[in-house]
Chain A
Amino acid sequence: MVWKTIAGLFPSWSMLFQGFIIFIVPVALTRTMTWIGAKEGKVSTRGLRAEGTKGGGVPSAAGSGGNVQKSNPAPRKIKEGGDSVSVADHVSASMTYTGQFQEDLQKFKEMSADMADVNVRELRIGALQIKAALLFVDGLTDKDGMDRNILKPLMNAMRPFEGMTTAPEANVLKNIIIHQVILVSEIEFTANPLMSLQKVLFGSAVLLVEGMTEVFVMGTPKGRTRIGEEPVSEALLRGPRIGFTETLSDNTAMLRRNGQNTELAMISFTVGKRIQKEMVLTYIKDIANEELVEEVKRRIRTIDIDDVKESGYVEQLIEDNYLSPFQQIQNTERPDRVMAALLEGRVAILLDGTPFALIMPVTFAMLLQSPEDYYDRWIAGSLLRVLRFLAATISLFGPALYISFLSFHPGLIPTKLVISIINSRQGVPFPSLIEALIMEVSIEILREAGLRLPKPIGPAMGIVGGLIIGQAAVEAGIVSPILVIVVAVTAISSFSMPMYSAGITLRMLRFVAMFFAATFGLYGVILFFLLLSSHLIKLKSFGVPYLSMAAPYRIRDWKDFIIRMPLQFMKRRPELLKPKEPRR
């Protein structure tokens, strides 16, 4: 009798199974994340990052913080201050120019034997007919300028050598040439042939003169530059019509022009092990938090890669959590946007060779902001911002809500709408998930195709795809017309994201939401939302919580969150960045 009572209290198998599942799911998830974290720690130097205190003292959220990998620190030799360091400098450190013209020239020619684009122009300097050679790379140098400012003065140099019969001492000759002959502002000297070759390859012209153990390195780079046109990826109706270009110096100059301020710091780094590129870290000295700057510097130093092709490489190598679907560093082509971020106390990175600058740290709200919010009057700006929040919600949950309403909660749709939905779905052979997937996937393909196509065809493609396929699919009875509306509204909403990459994130998450909806209905959508929220709450960008303003909750910063208050009220910089000078 007693045993029977006790046995009766023992839960049934299905209950035990449920309990087991409830236990195993979170454990399995945690284990997987730990495992991924450990894997990642082994293959990269990312673990190094976890050492900081504030401003990124966050271990990369994957959890590698637990087991910081110190085994593979691989400290890269990167000098700050602009002058690049040759990879191979230790190989031939002892090699120098001898001063014997023929010998040196020969040496140089040997080194550049398999570089057909290195040109050698021999000449005689001035009245004394001193042997010299000008070395440059075709296409990288400004030939016109070189002819006018180097060759012509050198060959015509009569007056400086008046009264001389033989070539003067190397030092004297050097001074004469610098001071009286060459019309180039940027001159360096080097005695190292390898170094000089490197300079030549980077676009400088090198002058080799008989009797001198050092060569002149003259900055005459031309580099095919583009005029800063209006950025394609971030078009504005109102605002400066200029964007960054591929030339770093142009970009830094643009920033300088944008903000004439003596406190604007530009720190130069060289990144890339094999192919070196110049990178500039910029911030405003008396605003940006020092710890933040230090953290960014530290992370830049951990970059260990052959070549940094685009700022996207930098972004991916220094971001906090590479598993997150959300970008933790903002990229932009607009100098005004960068400047505004700097004034809020953020830090930006410019990389040579790309018009995309990186801004960090980033919060979620920034992805839905556009510089226009500030250029327009505050009511219009706020309205647009609210609209964008709405659009983001639709873009994320639109199809998911459609699926869950249709498959799970017919009672939540107004009666008349239910009738017309049922009517329109008569004869649709697929469940709503498959139906929605068909349309969503095809619209994603369309979008991708439209992006790759040449500009004149792109829009036509959109029309053909969107209108004709949609119409045909409805008529063929594959999908219901209501779904076409949902998909279209969703697609338009995701276009309204001011940050293209944020739009992609939402597009991807939309599919996840759809599967959740198909499995559990609205309950699943809410589960998905909670999952997303818990991820976002944990996510940090350089030590700043990603959802800052919403959580942790800072009512003061709300002036510039969902609505934008009039500028007169925004007297303080965002507190979440802990700027040195809180007042604007």
Chain B
Amino acid sequence: MAHPSQLGLQDAASPVMEELLHFHDHALMIVLLISTLVLYIIVSMVSTKLTNKYILDSQEIEIVWTILPAVILILIALPSLRILYLMDEINDPHLTIKAMGHQWYWSYEYTDYEDLGFDSYMVPTQDLVPGQFRLLETDHRMVVPMESPIRVLVSAEDVLHSWAVPALGVKMDAVPGRLNQTAFIVSRPGVFYGQCSEICGANHSFMPIVVEAVPLVHFENWSSLMLEDA
């Protein structure tokens, strides 16, 4: 999850997010290098006492500062398109979960075998126990088996919402009457937080998402327990 005074992205918990993280480092480095260069040139131009009244044209530098930016753009575009196509690969999911957005909570449905459905409300601040995170914890988490391809179908029952988990590199809009598909693999066990990402009324900031990735055996135990409780 995010921690105080965090500057960068959260640690990746899925292969796609790892790629996005490295791409972000690559693109940001290019941006910082160019900005530093430009700033240096501006400062040196402004602070010099030299004046040159005789430059009329300069074919060579014009060629360099046309070709070089084009090359830099290609160096950004190639990894970007690689990731885009990687995200577009055909998946063979092991499990399908439906995430339905409501005002103001999410509900999750696991209907591959039995009809398991439950709501996930934010834990109010006054009900938190020490160690829990304010505005991020929920009463029921979306539990998934780790290292398995998961398909999530996102929709909404009332207004627009958006289902996002930054650590997994996932965000998908929840549109009433429409079923939007996204997929991910969680590489490591853990608890990953997200928040509703489309303005949806008074409590838009208070309907978080919590994904808990566990080994398959624990997932099977959890789903049996949830079915009994229902």
- Same complex for A and B? Answer no
